[in-house]
Structure 1
Amino acid sequence: MAVFVALGAFLMTLAGGWTAQRVTDRRHLVLGLAGGLMLGVVGLDLLPEALDAAGEEIFGVPAALLLFVAGFLVAHLVERLLAVRQAAHGGGEHKDRGRTPEVGLTAAAAMVGHSAMDGVAIGAAFQVGGSMGAAVAVAVIAHDFADGFNTYTITTLYGNARRKAVAMLVADAAAPVVGAASTLLFTIPAHLLGGYLGFFGGALLYLAAAEILPEAHHEHPARSTLLCTLAGVSFIWLVVGIAE
């Protein structure tokens, strides 16, 4: 049952990526929406789940929050190291934009890993009971639209070719199915799952706050871009509220 439900996440992820491809003439709106979706996923979905699953404290601070900060710093460090390496080799075709394609691929790969964990969450929830599985499935399938949208947008934002973006999108779409199938063989301890969600949330927040949103407002500091960001956050809030 869990694998069958995960197929809904597969289709929803592809729908999100398809939408991102079709609005290239409104790139600033796409980025504004993507930033809002990412912010909503982190603040309203990933971080609360991480705190619930990994509730133990380390020197007075929840472990999930420490990993959240670590994820933010690691994302910043990776981007800086890649930028330095690019500068040392002359910058290439993306020198003027200051974007390194590797960052986009790394971020997309992180999205794939997150989607695989979404599938694991569906499978684990169905092991608890049908109602729990249905609730988790609704949340996962709804926000996988945002995952597909963000995976394609992030990959192309950093200068990667469309074929690479499509490949990462397909991988992201297949990941929940693989994750759900894996729960037929084993389960992941809750505290490890919570730690992963915290770390991934920090990395995702860095990309949204330091890269996606500034890029969205760079050439088009329009009210419509801000409204798209607010719409993205509101959509995730709605999804979380329905799931609860």
Structure 2
Amino acid sequence: MAVLVALGAFLMTLAGGWTAQRVTDRRHLVLGLAGGLMLGVVGLDLLPEALRTAGGEVFGVPAALLLFVAGFLLAHLVERLLAARQAAHGGEECAGRAPEVGLTAAAAMVGHSAMDGVAIGAAFQVGGGMGLAVALAVVAHDFADGFNTYTITSLYGNARRKAITMLFADAAAPVAGATSTLFLTIPVHLLGGYLGLFGGVLLYLAAAEILPEAHHEHPARSTLLFTVGGAAFIWLVVGLAGTG
């Protein structure tokens, strides 16, 4: 059952990526929506779950929050290092976004999607009701994952072929994750720590890259509405999953 549900996540991820490709003439709206979806996933889904499952404190601070900050700083450090290397080899005109950052971020999203599949499998091991609730959240927000994976990969200057490759990898990841639960179990506290770290990376990309780019050339009210709508959509998904 868990693998069948993960196939639904596969299709939703592809649908999200397809949507991101089809609206290139409204790029500022695409980026605004992606930023809102990422903000919603981090603040309303990843971070709360990390705080519930990571457990323990380090010098009075929850371990999940420390890893969240570490993820934010790690994303910033990686981007600066890659941008500096690109500028050194290509001059000032190449000192923009490094394609490696986009691929790295997309790879992290693939890893997150695999953990989504693991979450589905683990929830079904607990019970059918729990499995369906988790499946609802995963399948719905995998549309956002696909949308964001394609958008992030493309935003950093990668070719369309690479963006599509990362999209398909992201779509297949939940199926692989759900299948893996037939053979192994990941400790809950490790999963919580990973969610905190990944949440920090996503927040950096949304706040420092995606949203500024969305408003750079088109500081329109519609862009802001799409951002708010993206965050509200994730709130709806989380709320429906919580009442399931």
1:67-86 map, 5 Å:
67-86=67-86
Question: Hey, what does 2:185 align to over in structure 1?
Answer: 187
Please tell me the residue identity of whatever aligns with 1:108.
Answer: A
Q: CA deviation at 1:217?
A: 0.3
Question: Hey, what does 2:112 align to over in structure 1?
Answer: 114
Please tell me the residue identity of whatever aligns with 1:138.
Answer: L
Q: Structure 1: any 5+ residue segments left out of the alignment?
A: none
**1: CA distance between counterparts of 2:241 and 2:94?**
44
Question: Hey, what does 1:196 align to over in structure 2?
Answer: 194
2:27 is the alignment partner of 1:27: yes
Question: Hey, what does 2:61 align to over in structure 1?
Answer: 61
Q: 1:218 to 1:125 in 2, by over 3 A?
A: same
1:8-157 map, 5 Å:
8-91=8-91, 95=94, 98-157=96-155
Equivalent pairs counted in the alignment come to: 242
Q: CA deviation at 1:91?
A: 4.6
Task: State the TM-score, normalized to the length of structure 2.
Answer: 0.98
Question: Hey, what does 1:212 align to over in structure 2?
Answer: 210
Aligned residues: CA RMSD: 1.0
**1: CA distance between counterparts of 2:48 and 2:56?**
14
Q: CA deviation at 1:55?
A: 2.2
1:144-183 map, 5 Å:
144-183=142-181
**1: CA distance between counterparts of 2:176 and 2:89?**
38
Query: Structure 1 stretches (4+) deviating beyond 2 angstroms?
Result: none
Please tell me the residue identity of whatever aligns with 1:66.
Answer: L
Question: Hey, what does 2:237 align to over in structure 1?
Answer: 239
**2: CA distance between counterparts of 1:222 and 1:151?**
24
Deviation digits for residues 66-97 of structure 1 (CA, Å, limit 9, x no counterpart)? 000000000000000000110110159x726x
**2: CA distance between counterparts of 1:108 and 1:137?**
22
Task: State the TM-score, normalized to the length of structure 1.
Answer: 0.98
- What is the SS of the residue equivalent to 1:185? coil
Please tell me the residue identity of whatever aligns with 1:75.
Answer: A
Q: Structure 2: any 5+ residue segments left out of the alignment?
A: none
